[in-house]
Amino acid sequence: MKKLLHIQLLPLLSGVQRFSLHLLDGLDKNEFSIYVAAKPGGEFCAEVIQRGYRFIPLPTFRHPISISDTLTFVHLLWLLLRHKFDIVHTNSSKPGLLGRLAARLCGVKLIVHTEHGTAFQDSQSPYAYRFYALMEFVGNYIGHKTVFVNNCEREKCLSMHLLPAAKASTIYNAIPPALTAQLGHIAAGRKLPDAEVIIGSTLRFSTQKNVIRLITAACKACALTPKLRFIILGDGEHFELCQTIVHSYNVSGQILLPGWDSDIVPWLKVFNAFVLYSRWEAQPFSIIEAMSSGLPVIGSDIPSIRELVDEESGYLVTLDDDAALTNLFVQLAGNFQPAYEKGKHAAKRITELCNYPAMIASYTALYRG
């Protein structure tokens, strides 16, 4: 039996952590002995333990670069030497660098990294952009295989010579069969909204998710039509500011900010459309789940979202064109029929793009290699 270690950073139950859970749940437990390492204390840790996987706490892990990274690196070296893993699979940028370096020094046979969005972004300063691109290059050089969850970032990294083509592959994210069936049942029961249109989202209230512009556009749209309702789930550093914006427009009755809820399924039943106006993404599970439940998606017109959402399954809005986003919201309130038809197509499209058995088979083949 092969000993497999997944390394995560934060113990949150966001998309990156859910990826590990979805993947590990589909692996043959007679072939793989599963370990998961991450910062302790959150929902992710509880889910790992509940599933019977071996959880290894990394208490010194921090999101920002800090001196504690040295302690985490030493801890990883000790763990890898002690457990003698056959496969180390890292996720996110910091675990991808520290974990791959430790695994290489310890002689791990197979080092895999899944790229859940590159650390370098166009919005960064030139210095930061070059630094993070260099870190990506180093990590890819150390590891054996790098998996991208979309084609656009794989092609970008190849064009920047951050890794050779032989090390790079694309495997789309997917959700497990039980959840797929549950959301498919919701999709089959979709009906046109009667009196009001509810546009929902689940996200982190962060700069990446462009949440301040999203909330502002929603407020302006609600001021123009009483038929609109918004339910934006999540929390984060901009949550209180977004609450203030909603109050300042006096539309608290139309825009609800309930906070974080890890159980999105009941909310998807309520939504009539889904919005994610992010500045950058890899391949968000939130869009996969929304499309699986038959919702049309309103997304920012960025490469990774374009791989999931086309003209027949949703709407793509130019990033930072807030007027266009507001106008689209108002348009949907006035005539939702075209969006309803897009939602039907979305459910079919996402089933073809994001196939769970294909994801499991691809990673299993990678682990066996």
Which tens digits make up the pLDDT trace of 182-191?
A: 999 999 999 9
The pLDDT value given to residue 65: 79
Q: In the block, which residue shows the tokens 């069969």?
A: 177
CA-to-CA distance for 95 and 116, rounded, in angstroms? Answer: 12
pLDDT of residue 329 exceeding 90, the answer is yes
Could you give all domains of the chain from N- to C-terminal order, each with its CATH number?
2-174+355-368 (3.40.50.2000), 177-353 (3.40.50.2000)
**pLDDT-derived band of residue 13, with 50, 70 and 90 as boundaries?**
confident
pLDDT of residue 156 exceeding 90, the answer is yes
Q: What is the mean pLDDT of residues 309-315?
A: 97
Tokens found for residue 143: 């590891």
Mean pLDDT of the chain: 96
The pLDDT value given to residue 253: 96
The pLDDT value given to residue 48: 97
The pLDDT value given to residue 165: 98
Q: What is the pLDDT of residues 15-46, one digit of tens each?
A: 899 999 999 999 999 999 999 999 999 899 99
Whole-angstrom CA distances from 6 to 85, 113, 148, 297 are 10, 9, 16, 31
Terminal-to-terminal C-alpha distance of the chain: 14
The pLDDT value given to residue 326: 98
Q: What is the mean pLDDT of residues 243-264?
A: 96
Sheet holding 145-148, edge to edge: 54-57, 32-38, 2-7, 87-91, 110-115, 145-148, 168-170
Give the burial string for 168-200 (b: 16+ CB within 10 Å, else e). bebbbbbbbeebbebbbebbeebeebeeebbbb
**pLDDT-derived band of residue 147, with 50, 70 and 90 as boundaries?**
very high
CA-to-CA distance for 349 and 96, rounded, in angstroms? Answer: 31
Q: What is the pLDDT of residues 57-109, one digit of tens each?
A: 999 998 877 888 999 999 999 999 999 999 999 998 999 999 999 999 999 99
The pLDDT value given to residue 340: 98
Q: What is the pLDDT of residues 215-242, one digit of tens each?
A: 999 999 999 999 999 999 999 999 999 9
Tokens found for residue 307: 């791989």
Sheet holding 197-202, edge to edge: 255-259, 228-233, 197-202, 273-276, 297-300, 314-317
The pLDDT value given to residue 10: 86
CA-to-CA distance for 15 and 282, rounded, in angstroms? Answer: 10
The pLDDT value given to residue 68: 86
Percent of the chain past pLDDT 70, that is, above it, reads 100
Q: Where are the alpha helices (DSSP H) in the chain?
A: 15-26, 43-50, 68-83, 93-105, 126-142, 151-159, 177-188, 211-224, 239-248, 265-270, 285-292, 303-306, 322-334, 337-353, 356-368
Q: In the block, which residue shows the tokens 């793009």?
A: 353
Percent of the chain past pLDDT 90, that is, above it, reads 92
pLDDT of residue 122 exceeding 90, the answer is no
State residue 88 phi and psi, 5-degree precision: -120, 125
pLDDT of residue 254 exceeding 90, the answer is yes
pLDDT of residue 265 exceeding 90, the answer is yes
- Cα Rg of the chain, angstroms: 21
The pLDDT value given to residue 123: 83
**pLDDT-derived band of residue 166, with 50, 70 and 90 as boundaries?**
very high
Listed residue (137, 144, 140) closest to 88, CA to CA: 144
The pLDDT value given to residue 33: 98
